[in-house]
Structure 1
Amino acid sequence: MDLYKHLESPMILKISFNELLKTYEQMLHSDDEILAAKAKRILEIQKPYPELREGFTDLSLLETYKKEIAIILQDSFSPILTNNEIKTATVPFQNIIYNASNRFQKILKNAGDDFVLKIENMPEHDTYIATCTVILNYCYGYNLNLKRPFFYEIPDENGILRYYKILYNADFCEIIPTEKAVKITQEDYDVLLDNYDNIELWKEKFPPNSYIFKGLVISNIFDVTDDQSISNVKSSLISKDKRSDENFIERFQGVFSSLLGIKDIRVGFSIYNKEEDSFEPVYGEGMHSFLLNANETTPCKSALCAGSYKQLLEEKKFYTLSDVDKYYELSKGKAPQIAVLKNQGIKSAILAPIADDNELLGILEIVSNNAKVLNSINANKLIDVMPYIVSAVLRSKKEEENLIEAVIQQECTSIHPSVSWKFRKEAKVFIQEQLKGNQAVFNKISFEDIYPLYGQIDIKGSSEARNWATQQDLSLQLNSVKTILEAAFKEEAFPIYEQFIFQIDGYLEKLNIDFQVDSEQQISVFLKNDINPLFEYLSKFEALTTLIKSYQETIDAKVGAFYKHRKNYDDTIASINKKMASLLDKKQVEAQKMYPHYFERFKTDGVEHNMYIGESITKEDSFNLIYLYNLRLWQLQVMCEMENAYYKMQSTFSIGLDVASMVLVFNQPLSISFRMDEKQFDVDGTYNARYEIVKKRVDKAYIKGTKERVTQKGKISIIYSQKQDELEYLRYIKFLQSKNYLDTDVEIVELQDLQSVTGLKAIRVSLLYSANNKEKTFYSYNDLIKEINN
């Protein structure tokens, strides 16, 4: 086999002992007769074989001259140290070894017959360039330092991975340019300095086989398993997405196996909750706590005995169990930490407190199914890695806190992405002022000259539906109480029972005839103060026990009253809002891609939304009115789609409710600012306040001269004040009619004046509803209701 036949390198690699033999030639003249004699003997042994000086690439010659090579290398590989030193003679940057100490040979033997030796951290790309830098230093006198620690990863006889660092001795080498070699100029050197990753450039300056390497490299190898394991712990802990990496725990356990020299150990974690004085699991792929086992959370004093609690939580010391079964017997199974480990088949364990500045953060759990392999002695090897685990837990804790804050902000106090840039900008200013020691004030967040859009899909008759549901529940509850009181009167003819029955009849009559806002409260107080204490007394009568128990089982625990019809109402409202909001959110993602704008929505008895669009929000010189017109058309179309979606699912609701849609058009740009106390945007200025007044009241407005509300089921109402808005929206309506979103019954009406607001008009038009699997594709509202009821 030829050494360089299948190897792409700037150097032809020749194994040669010339430089080493030159050293022995110098030793011939030594005053030490023994050294001189030894040098003479080695030179005489080599003399018949000139290729040992000239160099060779045929690896078969290593076997041919095996005896001679061993003698030449005898001083470099001392027989006295061969069982102790890990040493090889090798070809640079290659996994070719032709002489090795006994200890290295034993290491390879223990690794197994199928083990293939290779330098783990030497990519092929880097090998070529590393060789070029050696040439630059040796032949051109530069001082480029590309020294990196190289490692072998070799399993021992137990299959535990061990790490060996390689240090090269290249004293007995020479590099000779061939006719292919390109003369490297200072200009070439300067270009190469800035192009490490440009392999083609390096090959241009150092063509393959353009230099000859003659010599040998002696590798001094050291077992650095402990150091490398600690380094691997650090690398594992700083990696991203540990919790979602299904291989993280497996790799982490492998690192600790190498560190402790023990096969088949497992690693777990439990987090300490200081407020609750409890242990909690770490959630993530493959994460497990052996202390908790399958429990979600466990009080520390229930998870640990008094002694282990003191050792781990108070003294912050390692707690070890070398023989779980033995200590289980000694404790008679009463020590909870031993019992939980034994139940999982664990035979030995180390529990290491993860503490920072005497504050406990969690517990590192290392366990084995073999007794005595984990103990108080090898637990001390964890001392060097605990600081990195502490750092990782602190970082993870901070990340979790940030994530919690992000979730709270997203779900509770969301700042829309379109305006978050301005909040970040002001937050940076705030922090800078704090760092300077100044009194920091968070500046006002405002946006000028933006156009508002508002829309709502309102649930019609929601107040009447709630009142009806409340009446039904209260009637059911009062009649149930009346039945029990009538039965009680048969047991004891107390006049007070008749008085309560008379009072209940009065409440029932009031519910049926004149239900007032305060009726519910009056009845609730009566039931709480008079009836509930009475039923406690009546429970002693065996004849009443079943009736009272049945009554109490009907009471909803959270509401404290009958909650059947109101639950149907609440569930229906919540379901409508959820469906409508979900559809709007999904559509809004598409709208943001058209042009960025501010968006927010609210769930009430229906779903409202605000949108603001303009130059000051986008922060770019790109706004054009066409984006406003596009968003207005998009809004109108989405409102139609939301109505369609609602009526398609209306039959699934327990209460039949209708919805009505409305869009408010405001022609002039306005200013908005963020109200810190309310955590939302609001309009600025007296003129702009007119917009908010209209927005809050217009859905209850009447058509001028009538008692008809402007918003009606089956219709979409577009509220405006300017003629140009009317013309604009009539164009949109005509377009949507062509798309079968809207019917042809367009009407323009005037609205009665609102407080300090006059001159409002509305365009009203019926929606068309599509139905699945029907011969007729589109329906008016009345047609749709007939279809639903059929």
Structure 2
Amino acid sequence: MDINDNINSPFKLKISFSKLLEHYETLAKSKDEIVVANASRILKIAKNHPELREGFSDLSMLKSKENEIKAVLRDTFNPILTNNEIKTASVPLHNLVFNASERFKNIIKTAGKDFELQIKNMPEDDTYIFACAIILNFCYGYDLNFKRPFYYEIPDANGVIRYYKILYNADFCEITPTENAKKITEADYNELLDNFENIALWKEKFPPNSYTFKGFVISNMFDVTDDQSISNIKSSLIGEEKRKDESFMNEFHKIFSSLLGIKNIKVGFSIYDEETDTFQHVHGVGMNSYLLGDLESNSCFDALCSWSYNRLLKENKYFSVSDVDAMYKKSKGRAPHILSLYNQQIKSAIFAPIANDDGLMGILEIVSDKPRVLNSINANKLVDVMPFIVSAVERSKNEEENLIEAIIQQECTSIHPSVKWRFIMEARNFIKDELNGLEPNFKKIAFDNIYPLYGQMDIKGSSEARNTATQQDLSLQLKAVKDIIEGVLKEEPLPIYEQYIYQINNYLEGIKSNFQVDSEQQISSFLKDDIEPVLEHLQVNDKWKEQIHQYRESIDDSLNVLYKHRKAYDETIAKINSEMAFLLDKKQEEAQAMYSHYFERFKTDGVEHNMYIGESITREDSFNPIYLYNLRLWQLQVMCEMENNYYQMKSDFPVALDVASMILVFSQPLSISFRMDEKQFDVDGTYNARYEIVKKRVDKAFIKGTNERVTQKGKISIVYSQKQDEIEYLRYIKFLQSKHYLDDDVEIVELQDLQAVTGLKAIRVSVLYHKNEDDKAFYTYQDLMKEIES
């Protein structure tokens, strides 16, 4: 078998001791007789076995010449140091070892039969390029700094990974080009400098087996487990999104095992919240807290004894528990942290505070299922890694604060991406003024000459539905109380019970015939102030205890009222708003891709949305009215789709409610500005305020001369004031009728005058519905209701 078999390299390898023998030839001329005698002995062996100087690639020669090779390398591999040094003789970029110190042999033997020696951080392509870099250095004199620290990862007797750094001695080798070698020019070299990752180019310049490597290299290895473990901890903590990576904690356990030299230890974390003085779980894949166990959070006083509390939180010092079982017996199970460890079958542990100058941020928890393997002695090793953990936690806390801020910004006071550039620009100006010693001033954010679009899907009769739900809940609660008191009255005929029953009957009658705004408050006060004390008195009696318990089971704990029908109503409103807002947001992504514009939506009793489009928002000289017309058509189409989606899921809602959709058309461009106090955009100027007035009142407007509201279930109402708007939207309606979004019953109506607003008109047209997404038939609202109810 040849040493060059199955390897891809620019080298044709030959093991040779020629360079080493040249050193012995020099030593043979020494004045020291002992040195001369030893050199002569080595040179005699070489003379009798010329292949040692000439070189060979046949691996069988390593066996047949084993004794001679050992003799030639005896000085290089000093027998006195063989049990201390970790040393091998080999060829470069190859796992072949043909001579080694006893310590190296023992390390490999301990690793096990299946262990394969391999450089950890050397990808296959890099191996080829590294060989090319050696050639450039040896043969062409180019000093390419390609040197990197190389490592072996080798398990010890306990299965713990240990790290060995490799240092090469290449004094005993020579490299010569073969007839296949290509001459490397200055231009070639310059091209290679900019193409490290282009393996094809390197193979073109340095074809396989185009250079002969003759000689051997000596590898000296050093156990750098502690240093490498610290480096690995640092690297692990630097990476982004680590908490989402399933392998992160597994690797972390292994790294700490290497650092402490202990197999199968586990690492946990708990975060300290100073405001509440609690420890809390760190959320992430594989993250555990052995201090908290199954608890999500716990008071520090409840998680620690007074000594450990003072040690971690006041002194910011680590402590160990080398024998949990012994400590559990000693404390009689009264020390909370010992009890938590004992219940998790942990036998030894180290708790280390993660603290900076501002105080405690969290706890590092290292645990083992074996007693005494973790103790105050090896806990000292944490001193070298804690600064990296502290830095990582500081960064993580900052990132979390930024993320929380971003979520609040997104969910509560979001700045739409279409206008964010203006806020960034003003913020930069603010910072620039501050740095230049000027009085910083965040200037007004305003956009001129933009076109507004407004739409809403309103829940019809939401106030009446809530009143009905409230009446039903109050009636149920009053009747339940009445049943209890009537039962008590039969056993104890006291006049006060009769008076309560009389009052309850009056309330029940009032709910049916004259339910007013303050009725709910009156009844709630009666139940709380008058009835509740009576029930407290009665529940001590076993006769009424069970009935009163059942009554209280029906009462919502947080609201102290019966919350059945109102809950169904509230859940329905929330679900409608959530589903419709989600659909609108998804559709908005498509609209933004067509042309950037400002968008915001609100959840009320339904979903409203505002859009503004114009050149001042896009900051590009690209706006054309066609983008406004496109957005108007998109809005009308999406309103039809929202109507369809609503009625397809209506049967899933706890309360059956209807919706009515409306679009407000405003043809004149206007200005908007960001109001810092309310954290939202609003129209600018007196004239533009007319738009806001119409927007707030138009959905309650009546058709002129009637008591009929302009918005109706099953229809979309398009409110406008200009004739050109009417022509434009009739064109859109006709297009959507051809796509079966809208019915043919188009009507144009005049609206009664609103305060300070006259001349409004509306186009109303029925929506065509599908029973579900797969349904190809088209239904009017009345047809759909019949289908749903049938």
**Cα deviation 1:588-612 (Å, max 9, x = unaligned):** 2333333332222212122111122
| 8 Å Cα contact 1:119/1:151 also seen in 2 | yes
Q: How does 1:767-782 map to 2 (within 5 A)?
A: 767-771=767-771, 777-782=777-782
Q: CA deviation at 1:476?
A: 4.6
**Aligned-residue offset at 1:540:** 7.2
Shifted more, 751-760 versus 622-631: the winner is 622-631
| 1:612 alignment partner, SS class | strand
Q: CA deviation at 1:542?
A: 7.7
Paired with 2:484 and 2:516, the residues of 1 have a C-alpha distance of 26
Amino acid at match of 1:10: P
Summarize the Cα distance change of 1:313–1:765 in structure 2 as closer, same or farther, 3 Å threshold: same
Amino acid at match of 1:381: K
3-state SS in 2 of match to 1:455: strand
Q: Secondary structure at the match of 2:736?
A: helix
2:31 maps to amino acid: D
Q: CA deviation at 1:82?
A: 0.9
- Distance of aligned partners of 1:6 and 1:576 in 2 relative to their CA distance in 1, 3 Å threshold: closer
| Distance of aligned partners of 1:648 and 1:141 in 2 relative to their CA distance in 1, 3 Å threshold | closer
Structure 1 CA distance, aligned partners of 2:375 and 2:493? 78
Deviation of the 1:720 alpha carbon: 0.9
* Residue segments in structure 2 that go unaligned for 5+ positions in a row: none
Q: Structure 1: which amino acid aligns with 2:171?
A: D
Q: Which residue of 1 aligns with 2:381?
A: 381
Stretch moving more, 340-349 or 530-539: 530-539
Please give the residue correspondences for 1:508-547 in structure 2 after superposition, counting only pairs within 5 Å: 510-533=510-533, 536=536
Shift of 1:662: 0.7
Which residue number in structure 1 is paired with residue 174 of structure 2?
Answer: 174
CA deviations over 1:145-202 (Å, ceiling 9, x no partner)? 1111111111112221111111111122222233333333333322222222222332
Task: Tell me the secondary structure at the aligned position of residue 396 of structure 1.
Answer: helix
CA distances 1:624-649 after superposition (whole Å, capped 9, x unpaired): 33332222222212222222233333
Taking a change above 3 Å as real, the CA distance of residues 493 and 410 of structure 1, as seen in their structure-2 partners, is same
Once the two structures are superposed, the pairs formed by residues 698-777 of structure 1 within 5 Å of their partners are: 698-771=698-771, 777=777
Query: Counterpart in 2 of 1:77?
Result: 77
- Give 1:376 deviation, angstroms: 1.2
Question: Residue by residue, what CA displacement relative to the aligned partner does 1:317-341 show, whole Å, maximum 9, x if unpaired?
Answer: 2211222222222222222222222
* Distance in 1, Cα, partners of 2:22 & 2:164: 31
In the TM superposition, what is the alpha-carbon distance from 1:709 to its structure 2 partner?
A: 1.6
Map of 2:347 onto structure 1: 347
Q: CA deviation at 1:223?
A: 0.9
The residue aligned with 1:333 is 333
Counterpart in the other structure of 1:9: 9
1:16 positional shift = 1.8
2:231 maps to what in 1? 231
1:510, CA displacement in angstroms?
4.7
SS across alignment from 1:243: helix
Moved more, 425-434 or 277-286: 425-434
Asked if 2 retains the 8 angstrom alpha-carbon contact of 1:434 and 1:440, the reply is: yes
Q: Partner of 1:734: helix, strand, or coil?
A: helix
C-alpha spacing 1:762/1:127, structure 2 compared with 1 (3 Å): same
- Residue 416 of structure 2 is matched in structure 1 by 416
Distance 1:472 1:116 in 2: 77
Deviation at 1:86, TM superposition (A): 0.9
Deviation at 1:90, TM superposition (A): 1.2
Q: Could you tell me whether the CA contact under 8 Å between 1:269 and 1:365 is conserved in 2?
A: yes
Deviations 1:93-151, CA, capped at 9 Å, x for gaps = 22121111111111111111211111111222112222222222222223221111111
Structure 1 residue matching 2:379: 3-state secondary structure: helix
Amino acid corresponding to residue 369 of structure 1 in structure 2: D
Matched with 2:241 is 241
* CA drift at 1:699: 0.8
Q: Give secondary structure in 1 for the equivalent of 2:79.
A: coil
Give the gaps of 5 or more residues in structure 1. none
Farther-moved stretch of structure 1 (135-144 vs 117-126): 135-144
Written as runs of structure 1 = structure 2, the 5 A alignment for 1:254-265 is 254-265=254-265
Single out whichever of 121-130 and 592-601 deviates more from structure 2.
592-601
Q: 1:737–1:51: structure 2 CA closer, same or farther, 3 Å change rule?
A: same
Q: Deviations over 1:724-775 (max 9, x none)?
A: 1111111111122222222222111111222222221111112223335999
CA 1:657–1:131: 2 relative to 1, 3 Å: closer
Q: Report the counterpart of residue 301 of structure 2 in structure 1.
A: 301
Query: What is the DSSP-based 3-state SS (H/G/I as helix, E as strand, rest coil) of the residue aligned with 1:383?
Result: helix
What does residue range 468-479 of structure 1 map to in structure 2 within 5 Å? 468-478=468-478
Counterpart residue identity of residue 467, structure 2 = N
Corresponding residue of 2:685: 685
Is contact 1:133–1:146 with CA below 8 Å preserved after alignment?
Answer: yes
Show the counterpart of 2:609.
609
Q: For residues 6 and 551 of structure 1, what CA distance do their matches in structure 2 show?
A: 83
1:493, CA displacement in angstroms? 7.7
CA distance in 2, matches of 1:194, 1:497: 96
Q: Give the whole-Å Cα distance in 2 for the aligned partners of 1:129 and 1:244.
A: 35
> Which one-letter code corresponds to 1:700 in the other structure?
K
Question: Which position in structure 2 is the counterpart of 1:37?
Answer: 37
AA aligned to 2:273 is N
SS in 1 for 2:392: helix
Q: Which moved more, 1:693-702 or 1:644-653?
A: 644-653
**CA distance in 2 between partners of 1:646 and 1:510 (Å):** 35
| Alignment-derived partner of residue 96 in structure 1 | 96
Equivalent-residue separation in structure 2 for 1:542 and 1:150 (angstroms): 81
3-state secondary structure, aligned to 1:365: strand
SS at match of 2:568: helix
Deviation at 1:665, TM superposition (A): 1.0
Give the 3-state SS of the residue equivalent to 1:590 in structure 2: helix
- Aligned mates of 1:20, 1:283 — CA distance in 2: 60
Amino acid at match of 1:99: N
Change (3 A) 1:357 1:39: same
What is the CA-CA distance between 1:532 and the residue it aligns to?
A: 4.2
Distance change in 2, residues 1:555/1:336 (3 Å):
closer
Mean CA deviation greater in 91-100 or 700-709:
700-709
CA deviation after TM superposition for structure 1 residue 221, in Å: 1.0
1:123 is matched with which residue? 123
**Does the alignment pair 1:595 with 2:598?**
no
SS in 2 for 1:174: strand
Instruction: State whether residues 162 and 225 of structure 1, in contact with CA within 8 Å, keep that contact through their aligned partners in structure 2.
Output: yes
* Equivalent residues in 2 for 1:103-142, closer than 5 Å: 103-142=103-142
Q: Deviations over 1:665-706 (max 9, x none)?
A: 111222222222212221122222221111111111122232
- CA 1:692–1:554: 2 relative to 1, 3 Å: same
Tell me the TM-score normalised to structure 1 length.
0.93
| AA matched with 2:355 | A
| Distance in 1 of aligned mates of 2:534 and 2:701 | 49
Rounded to whole Å, the distance in 1 between the matches of 2:250 and 2:61 is: 45
CA distance in 2, matches of 1:500, 1:114: 87
* CA shift in 2, pair 1:786/1:3, >3 Å: closer
The answer to whether the aligner puts 1:623 opposite 2:623 as a matched pair is yes
AA paired with 2:21?
Answer: L
Distance 1:204 1:643, change over 3 A: closer
Paired residues, what number? 790
User: Does 300-309 or 258-267 show the bigger shift?
Assistant: 300-309
Cα distance 1:546–1:61, how it changes in 2: closer, same or farther (>3 A)?
Answer: closer
1:212-223, aligned counterparts within 5 Å?
Answer: 212-223=212-223
Q: State how far apart, in whole Å, the 1-side matches of 2:70 and 2:547 are.
A: 103
Q: Which residue of structure 1 lines up, in the alignment, with residue 361 of structure 2?
A: 361
* Alpha-carbon separation, structure 1, partners of 2:602 and 2:33: 100
Query: Secondary structure of the residue that 2:639 maps to in structure 1?
Result: helix
Give the SS at the match of 1:214: strand
CA contact (8 A) 1:316 1:358 kept: no
